[in-house]
Amino acid sequence: MANAYSYDLRRKVIEAIELNGMKRCEASEFFNVSRNTINTWFQRRRETGDFNAKVRKHQGNGHKITDWEKFRAFVETYGDKTQVEMAQLWEGDISDRTISRGLKKIGFTRKKRPMGTANGMRTNGESFSNS
């Protein structure tokens, strides 16, 4: 989504129209702002008393796990449970997928060997050594 025009630009456009007698279409070309936008600013000023930009609600997800030290302690206690069981044990409403993302974020794994094992296959040219 595009950023809102600055309050300073809005003020300059409205002052140019009201104080200097510039027409809205002239101000639109001069300040490179659409006429519809200028009309919206005037309408907002009539309705609210100011032409400030509307405050947008932050988009994105609200993270359910915020205290990561508490989550690490929880995982140490209940790490042997499935993610569905861990989600049921966690305080508050949380999904097993959120538990999964949290486990990945803290680097928790159930693997006994976190590193891959060495390849046990012989390459061509290696022979058996019977010692």
- The reported pTM is 0.46
Task: Indicate the pLDDT class of residue 32, thresholds 50, 70 and 90.
Answer: very high
Q: Where are the domains of the chain?
A: 7-48, 68-106
Q: Using CA atoms, how far apart are residues 30 and 42, in angstroms rounded to an integer?
A: 17
**Burial zone of 22 (CB within 10 Å; 0-12 exposed, 13-18 middle, 19+ buried):** middle
DSSP three-state, residue 112: coil
Per the CB < 8 A criterion, the answer to whether 27 and 68 are in contact is no
Task: Indicate the pLDDT class of residue 4, thresholds 50, 70 and 90.
Answer: confident
Residue 29 has pLDDT above 70, yes or no: yes
User: What pLDDT does 114 receive?
Assistant: 59
Per the CB < 8 A criterion, the answer to whether 5 and 14 are in contact is no
Distance of CA 90 to the CA centre of its chain: 23
pLDDT tens-place string over residues 41-96: 999 999 989 988 888 777 766 678 888 899 999 999 998 889 999 999 988 888 99
pLDDT tens-place string over residues 97-120: 999 999 999 988 877 665 666 666
Taking the C-alpha atoms of 64, 66, 70 and 74 in order, what is their torsion angle to the nearest 10 degrees? 30
